[in-house]
Amino acid sequence: MASGTIRDRISATVARYDAVAAEYQEARRQHRPLDAIRKFAALAGRGTIVLDPACGPALDVRLLRDAGLTVVAGDRSHESMRMGKLLFPKGALARWDFRRLPFADDAFDGVWAPAALQHLPRGQIRAGLAELRRVQRRGPMFLTFREGTGDLEAVEDPPAGTVYATPVLGEELYALLVAAGYDEVEIEARPDPLGRTSVTWVYGWGRLPGDGG
C-alpha cells in the first residue's frame, strides 16, 4: 500500500473518532470486555502501573482503576483526549501516536491495547507491537483485532461510521505475540459486542515473565 494512502486512511480514521468522541463514549461504555479487564488486572497485580496506549475517550480507564490498577492512558484523537480529561481531570492522560511513545524502556507492568494495532496497515503492526513491548517491563499484554484478512480496509465502527482497520486471523496474532517475546500466549475468537453476526473479534493474550527479560 502506498505511503500516501496509508497516511490518508489513518488520518481519516482519527478524524472520524474526533468528530464523534462524545457520542462514541456514550454508545460504547456499556459494551466493554469486563471479564477481560478482570483477568488483566489479576495478571498485572493490584497497584501496578499499566499502559492504555489507544484509550479513545477513556472508555476503560475507570474500569481498570476500579480493578486496582494505576493507569497511564493516551490516544491520537484530540477530541477523545478532551473527553477523557473531562472525566479524569487529574488522571495521567495525554495525546500521542503510540508508534512513538514518550516513555523509557520497561516503564509499565502491563499493556491494555484492545482495538489499537488494528488501525495500522499490516506492514506496521509488528513495529507497533514492538513499541508497546519496548515500554513493558513485565506482566500481561492484551490485544484485540477484527478477525479476517485485508489491509487497512474500510469497516463500520458505530457511531464513528467508516474507519480503516486491518483484520487478522488467530494464528497471525499468535505468531505476532510469540515473535515479540511473550509467553503464555492465548488466542480466543469472540462475538461482536454490538451483536453484529458478520463481525468476529480475536482476543490475544501474552505475558512477560519476571522483569521482561
Note the pLDDT tens digit of each residue in 37-51.
999 999 999 999 999
Containing structural domain, residue 203: 3-208
pTM over 0.85: yes
* Predicted confidence (pLDDT) per residue in 162-208, tens digit: 999 999 999 999 999 999 999 999 999 999 999 999 999 999 999 99
pLDDT, mean over the chain = 94
Please report the pLDDT score of residue 213 as a whole number: 43
Domain presence at residue 193: yes
Domain presence at residue 213: no
Please report the pLDDT score of residue 20 as a whole number: 94
Query: What is the grid cell recorded at 112?
Result: 491494555
Report the CATH number at residue 179: 3.40.50.150
Domain presence at residue 152: yes
* Predicted confidence (pLDDT) per residue in 17-34, tens digit: 999 999 999 999 889 999
* Predicted confidence (pLDDT) per residue in 60-77, tens digit: 999 999 999 999 999 999
Domain presence at residue 159: yes
Please report the pLDDT score of residue 212 as a whole number: 44
* Residue 211 pLDDT greater than 90, yes or no: no
- How many domains does the chain contain in total? 1
Four-CA torsion 96, 97, 103, 109, nearest 10 degrees: 100
Asked if residue 159 has a cis previous peptide bond (ω within 30° of 0), the answer is yes
Domain presence at residue 128: yes
Q: Which residue has the higher pLDDT, 148 or 59?
A: 148
* Predicted confidence (pLDDT) per residue in 113-165, tens digit: 999 999 999 999 999 999 999 999 999 999 999 999 999 999 999 999 999 99
Distance of CA 39 to the CA centre of its chain: 16
Burial class (CB in 10 A: 0-12, 13-18, 19+), 143: buried
